[in-house]
Amino acid sequence: MAAPIDRSTRRFLIAFRYAFAGIGHLLRSQRNFQIHLLIGAIAIALGVVLRIARWEWVALALTIGMVLAAEGFNTAIEATVDLATSERHPLARIAKDVAAGAVLLCALTAIVVGLLIFGPRLWLLWVILT
């Protein structure tokens, strides 16, 4: 018979359940999260095909994670603002705009990282094939 799970371990596991529920919400309801996830999967497939170096995998993984996390923060901020007020308020607008701007900055950074990693390889491939 298995030993019972103590209270702190149980709380720890419940926290993971809530975190996965949040990721599930993002996957089901946030179109931009789905788009970023698809682009991240394409980047991973391209990395496999082009056999990128280990340090490039690190940069790619961190970049994908950064963009997805930024989308999560953006969604959380938007939900919190919507909960706080249903009226149009300048501070609510600032909160939502800044959160969306942060996602945009992360996405633009991801494009730069992608160009640095994949650009030279794809350019060489294009030159060889043409």
Identify the pLDDT of residue 6.
Answer: 87
Task: Tell me whether residue 56 is one of the annotated catalytic residues.
Answer: no
- Residue of 40, 63, 71, 107 marked active site: 71
Instruction: Assess if residue 25 is contained within a domain.
Output: no
Low-confidence ranges of the chain (pLDDT < 70): 1
Identify the pLDDT of residue 1.
Answer: 64
Q: Which residues carry a binding-site annotation for substrate? A: 11, 71
Measure Cα distances from 29 to 60, 96, 117, 130 in Å.
25, 17, 31, 42
Q: Which two tokens stand for residue 109?
A: 């950074």
Q: Which residues carry a binding-site annotation for ATP? A: 11, 18, 78, 87-89, 96-97
Identify the pLDDT of residue 130.
Answer: 86
pTM of the model: 0.89
Domain extent, residue 50, equals 31-129
Q: Which residues carry a binding-site annotation? A: 11, 18, 71, 78, 87-89, 96-97
Give me the CATH number covering residue 74.
Answer: 1.10.287.3610
Residue among 125, 122, 124 at smallest CA distance from 42: 122
Instruction: Assess if residue 23 is contained within a domain.
Output: no
Task: Say how far apart CA 11 and CA 103 lie, in whole Å.
Answer: 31
Identify the pLDDT of residue 22.
Answer: 97
Domains: count for the chain: 1
